[in-house]
Chain A
């Protein structure tokens, strides 16, 4: 693959929740609006997002508490209902119409909650290895309680590969490295507040409300949320499609960037042209 030129990023601060929370949103690219919701460990800007930013204006909010400048914002956020309302408020205040919504892992659950709560507010929905459902026979691994040394093997098909190295890259400076590691631990704690101890907070009962054309992307070798969960989501979201990415575990956008980008791009363009057939005749 050819690396895309790193686009210029700006940060917008959206003040929400009765002026108590400053939600930081990274804004990159040009074109129609696309909202990206990051996974539990915080926002990591990657090649996949840079490519999307060639065709879209990507808005990537940082979950409260995961912004290095404001770690204690998490103490103002108390439950999942508030999270959903707060994100809706932020997107409304950004005034970006009906954007594409993409969420990865924890962000996937959040994206599904938003699209279920506000069915008319998103033009398309893409869920990538999302948490939010639960099967007793295939439990979602509790990554928050996992030994940090096991995270690369848990998250990646190839724990030694470039994707894992990128995610766990440690800055050369000792203090920077400590800040990065502590920041990731804290981010996992902040997002964990809303899914502990089991990431099933009733989403299964709300998924039926989603009406945006939906693509469900899953790493075939996902060890954290097994690929069978793709069908669990698909069976509850009417007209949704599943794309399974080979040779990838939990984070296909990092581990198989080309394939992931191409299925996402195809879905976005296809659904532009054929939205009615994807969402069903009665939509």
Chain B
């Protein structure tokens, strides 16, 4: 199994009663709640934690994107990742540079996305893994002004443009519905050309997103905010059903999963050290994003809206998150916390059951201070990660969704369908 280190840049000193006082992470008053020292420190600490993880041997450094939000102050992960690309190159650390969340449904400048990522691939000399989520409603629609009914269409068009801009040998015009460019000829192009940088799509359960990822041989990421044991099970079952339906092999490396994890010498010590930071994170981050900011009319297909009204199970413990307790997080599997043995046992069991080939370990979250985050990274890297890495190694699967420079193996030519455009305008 590949194990990446997953980082957000949260403001770590929000008041205890944040989730009672404020409607959402999106409308949080900046100057009332922050000091510039704390904000600056949040960036320094996050970058230091990422580099600490790189030095500890993680397979990749994954960073998400969230505009205008107090729980993750990263409006563009490419900025963080380009700094990491340079620093890890200097230190000769063979880790994937993995902006997991450059949302293409949100982006109004897809060519800039293509250029930024190509630059990162050059700076890192071929270590880019490129994550393209469709986009969260509050970020794509509220923050960036994209009509909800256009998020998916923009994603579809922008993805085609980015991939074409990366590889086209000739200058080409792009006359899209959303972007028009008389002459596309980006400099630089990614170092990775054959194949292009691995593309990963993040989804929350929409079967169409899964189908598109599988058909086009992209990796598929799912983030476990809503509880692996309650929501994850449904999502993973659906994913592998779609893989089977598409006639593809059940290669676990197709699937990535983000899990919040904390490790200490014993289970009791882990709870004592991390419980309050986990509660801070889930209550003041995802828990403080009201449903009408996660889903907006027009953003979800009418049949999808009906399906969610019939059965909201994909949202797992979302309803509880604003007041969630450590025990509830553990019960739902939204958090794995304990001794190295406990963590290995739980993660391995889940990974086996759901055929997870890529784990994104979120080891700093919420208010967790820098020193504790480093302890968590250290213990995880020393005593958990080596054992998790053994998973799947005996089954003969090849990892086709990883940079060649870092051991990825190209798909057989016939299966490499990234270049074949899916029909644009397929309904969101």
Contacts and interface: CB of A to CB of B under 8 A. Distances in A.
Interface string B279-299: 000000000001111001111
B50 to A, nearest CB: 33
A41 B310 CA distance: 21
B141 A186 contact: no
Interface in A43-73: 71-72
Interface stretch (B4-12, B142-150, B337-345): B142-150
B298 A188 contact: yes
Contacts of A183: 302
Residue from A75, A144, A182, A183 having most chain B Cβ neighbours under 10 A = A182
Contacts of A194: 147
A189 B299 contact: yes
B292 A146 contact: yes
25 contacts: A72-B427, A75-B427, A78-B177, A144-B296, A145-B141, A145-B292, A147-B291, A178-B310, A182-B306, A186-B297, A189-B148, A189-B149, A189-B299, A192-B147, A192-B148, A192-B297, A193-B149, A193-B150, A196-B145, A196-B146, A196-B147, A196-B148, A197-B141, A197-B145, A197-B147
Nearest to B148: A189
B309 interface: yes
A74 interface: yes
B46 interface: no
B297 A144 contact: yes
B67 to A, nearest CB: 14
A182 B302 contact: yes
Contacts of A188: 297-298
Interface residues of A, number: 26
A52 B149 CA distance: 34
Contacts of A178: 306, 309-310
Nearest to B143: A197
Contacts of A74: 149
A87 to B, nearest CB: 19
A75 B425 contact: yes
A223 interface: no
Contacts of A192: 147-149, 297-298
Residue from B142, B296, B299 having most chain A Cβ neighbours under 10 A = B296
A145 B292 CA distance: 6
B297 A185 contact: yes
Given A187-B297, A196-B141, A197-B145, 17 more contacts: A78-B177, A145-B292, A145-B293, A145-B296, A146-B292, A178-B309, A182-B305, A182-B309, A185-B305, A189-B148, A192-B297, A193-B148, A193-B150, A193-B298, A196-B145, A196-B146, A197-B142
A31 B346 CA distance: 74
A179 interface: yes
Contact of A147 (B141, B150, B292, B302): B292
B161 to A, nearest CB: 18
Interface string B44-84: 00000000000000000000000000000000000000000
Contacts of B292: 145-148
B387 to A, nearest CB: 45
A144 B427 CA distance: 20
A186 B148 contact: no
A193 B151 CA distance: 10
* Complex A-B, nearest 10 residue pairs according to Cβ-Cβ distance, in ascending order: A189-B298, A189-B297, A196-B147, A188-B297, A186-B302, A193-B149, A182-B305, A182-B306, A197-B145, A71-B302
A190 interface: yes
Interface residues of B, number: 24
Residue from B141, B145, B150, B305 having most chain A Cβ neighbours under 10 A = B305
Contacts of A22: none
Residue from A75, A188, A189, A192 having most chain B Cβ neighbours under 10 A = A189
Contacts of A181: 309
Residue from A144, A148, A179 having most chain B Cβ neighbours under 10 A = A144
A71 B150 CA distance: 15
A144 B145 CA distance: 13
A186 B142 contact: no
Interface string A193-205: 1101100000000
A199 B318 CA distance: 32
B290 A186 contact: no
Residue from A181, A185, A188, A192 having most chain B Cβ neighbours under 10 A = A185
Contact of A144 (B150, B177, B298, B306): B298
Contacts of A179: 306
Nearest to A148: B292
Nearest to B305: A182
Contacts of B145: 196-197
Nearest to B291: A147
Contacts of B146: 196
Interface in B136-173: 141-142, 145-150
Interface in B253-291: 290-291
A179 B150 CA distance: 22
A183 B298 CA distance: 11
Contacts of A146: 292
Contacts of B296: 144-145, 189
Nearest to A143: B297
Contacts of B310: 178
B150 A186 contact: no
A187 B290 CA distance: 21
A187 B305 CA distance: 12
Nearest to A78: B177
Residue from A74, A183, A190, A196 having most chain B Cβ neighbours under 10 A = A196
A28 to B, nearest CB: 26
A264 B105 CA distance: 44
A167 to B, nearest CB: 16
